[in-house]
Amino acid sequence: MNDLETPRPADAGRGVRIVLVRPKIAENVGAAARAMKNFDLHDLVLVAPRTEVNKSAYALASHAGDVLDAARIVPDLGAALEGVTWALGTSARGRASEAVREYEVDDALATLPEQGGALVFGPEDHGLANDELDRCQALLRIPTAAYASINLSQAVNIVAQRWFERRRHAPDLDAPDVADPVANPARVAPAPREQVERFYDDLVALWHEIGYTDANREAATLRLYRGVFDRTTLSTRELAALRGLVSQASWAARLPPERLPGRKAEAAGEDDA
């Protein structure tokens, strides 16, 4: 296991990434690794785990010890999603937010590219926090009866099995061409999530600079805008244009009104008249 190592890009040939956020039971980590190997998934990242990957984990992993050996530990979800272009957060419960698209398992997996995709699972005791779900582009819901608490490794097993079945029956469906403008000219490669997150950081800084929001309203406001921009699957070029616009707006906000380029042009026109 590689401790606190930056994940390699998800498009480096390892397929869909499985991210376990703050797992607290070693046996669940091991059983999740076993489920991954059963269904041809190999890229495991642990976010701030509250347990060691110990003998108990390896015992439950059975013949999937190599998945645990290659797993990486990172301090936060942002680091876990480096190189990822589309992340699905998982939950047994829905969210009361129109900004988050919710799907059941098969529909959710239909949105997930094999290269650059990630499946994010929360800790055993309370699942993913709202700010962690905000970093995902959609919510995958596992249907249950009234009792909705699913064991972490069982959740990984359910989703991994459905992913494997989807690939087995339609191996070319939405694979590399989802993010490959050469194979599919109608689409462009989406920007990596770390670049999108930097754009959101810039946007929030601008909002505070111009008084558009405050600390109390920031989270809800950003959730709304995440929904808007994440639905468009921004390309790197589009993202650069938006960051340029935010930067220009921030620069203009610090100028006296008479020094704004548009105002200076108006003044010059009045002088000519």
Q: Give the predicted TM-score (pTM) of the model.
A: 0.76
Neighbouring-strand partners of residue 190? 235
Give pLDDT tens digits for 38-73: 999 999 999 999 999 999 999 999 999 999 999 999
Please identify every stretch of the chain with a pLDDT value under 70, giving residue numbers as ranges. Answer: 1-14, 93-100, 171-188, 262-273
pLDDT at residue 102, rounded to an integer: 86
Task: List, in sequence order, the alpha helices (H) in the chain.
Answer: 26-38, 55-61, 65-70, 77-80, 105-109, 130-134, 152-169, 193-210, 218-230, 236-253, 261-272
- The phi and psi torsions of 47 (rounded to 5 degrees) equal -100, 115
- For the chain, the C-alpha Rg in angstroms (whole number) is 22
Q: What is the structure's pLDDT at 10?
A: 46
DSSP annotation of 5 reads: P
* Predicted local distance difference test score (pLDDT) of residue 148: 80
For the chain, what is the mean pLDDT? 84
**How would you classify residue 149: left for phi > 0, otherwise alpha for psi between -120 and 50, otherwise beta?**
beta
pLDDT at 56: 97
- 2-179 — its CATH code? 3.40.1280.10
Q: What is the pLDDT of residue 15?
A: 84
* Rounded alpha-carbon distances, angstroms, from residue 136 to 27, 45, 208: 26, 15, 24
pLDDT of residue 190: 84
Angle at 250 between CA 244 and CA 254, to 5 degrees: 145
Instruction: For residue 99, give every residue at least 6 positions away whose Cβ sits within 8 Å of its Cβ, in sequence order, or none.
Output: 223, 224, 226, 227, 228
Question: In angstroms, rounded to a whole number, what is the distance separating the alpha carbons of residues 199 and 202?
Answer: 5
Q: Where in the chain is the domain with CATH 3.40.1280.10?
A: 2-179
